[in-house]
Amino acid sequence: MSSLLHSSNSSTVIVSPARGFRGSVTLPGDKSISHRYAMLAGFAAGTSRLTNFSTGADPHSSLGCMRAMGARIETVGKTIEVTGTGGRLHHPNRDLDCGNSGSTMRMLAGLVAAQKGSFRFVGDESLTVRPMERIRKPLEQMGAKIELTDGHAPMVVHGGELTGIDFETPIASAQVKTAVLFAGLQARGVTSIAERVRTRDHSEHALRAFGATLERQNGRLSIAGGQKLTAIDATVPGDMSSAAFFLCAALLFEDSNLVLDALGMNPTRAAMLDVISAMGGTIKVLDVQETHGEMAGTIQVNRGRALLGIDIAGEQAAQLIDELPVIAAIAPYTQGGVRIRDARELRVKESDRIALVVKNLRAMGAEVAELEDGMDIPGGQRLRGGVIDSGLDHRIAMAFSIAALRAEGETEIRGAEAASISFPEFFVWLNELALR
């Protein structure tokens, strides 16, 4: 059993070893899609109805910021209704509080950059040390002015009339791409973006769903300014990044049987399914449908042979950036180990995820080599229960709860409440799926 122990400032979860992993779940709405739908619905004309919106705290920070800028937001049963501002955001009478959400801060900066006035963005302690310079450069090239504090939040965006630019992203970042697209939607002329590594394309699908026209030619994505958005009705597919934890749990047991319903299967997020197959999982796709450009389906996952190691680098590392912590957490149990390269972006997430993964693997008795842009984790190791420092990072807390399922003895996850940032139901569902 998992048990929740409360202390004065944080919570601790005790995860016991399991003997199997079986069951069926429908995951909360995709966090990345929920962010984009919240922002565009709040910006569009009319009332959008969003079903299966993410239950995580981060997308609700986006909703809160849109409410502060004039959108009307109501919850009706399992649907969130967002009445937008018709393209003219109200000047907020307070700071825009992004909480723990870098997605909210970076992407909304692009949306407000073309609006008159100054918008001050703040966040929690973790968010104030994450890099924001990456969005300042393109938005200032377009004509906005952005004030940062040593390259970080608090951030003030002084909006105004923008002009389209040709921009090549220096790093693989869907958030930077989105900020530029949101600004380009309102700029004079055409804005084009070239990516060295193709990132998740939820923004492109969302913009088209709300009525915008985008073109992709010769590897460049372009959007013409002056386009108007109109409300939509949409169901958000289940979150692949949340599914990654249960997918990895299914790999730990030979007789596992996991069914995930209405799971988002966007091709730019499907790298995780490729990894599950490469590591010894068997995936059956039972149903697939497309809505607003996003694919969703039901999959069944089993593991009938050995848990295999894998090397992850280059474009694959960029595509799996959110899933790498849990892949690393189960790496000691593999045959052959896991090697991760080209993942330096992990160091500037909610925590330094490379450092925390290494620290916590060692706390469970694993041998691991830390690199600047990744790690080497030998296979064929046994883990023992230990004390895990989540660093109040949701993905670290959940990743090591999965590793704990095969450990010898109980594992203590400190700062477990961080899971609510993206997946508040995680520990309840983990307890239901793990056989003990």
Which residues are part of the catalytic machinery? Answer: 322
Task: Give the residue among 91, 96, 94, 117 at the shortest CA–CA distance from 106.
Answer: 96
User: In this structure, how many other beta carbons lie within 10 angstroms of the beta carbon of residue 202?
Assistant: 24
DSSP reduced 3-state for 400: helix
Contacting residues for 274 by C-beta, under 8 A, at least 6 apart: none
The CA distance from 27 to 7, in Å, is: 29
DSSP secondary structure, 302-355, as one string? EE-SPPEEEEE-HHHHHHTTTTHHHHHHHGGGSEEEEEE-S-GGGGGSSS-HHH
The CA distance from 80 to 63, in Å, is: 10
Q: Are strands 220-224 and 214-217 parallel, antiparallel or unpaired?
A: antiparallel
Report the DSSP beta bridge partners of residue 303: 281
* H/E segment holding residue 428: helix 426-433
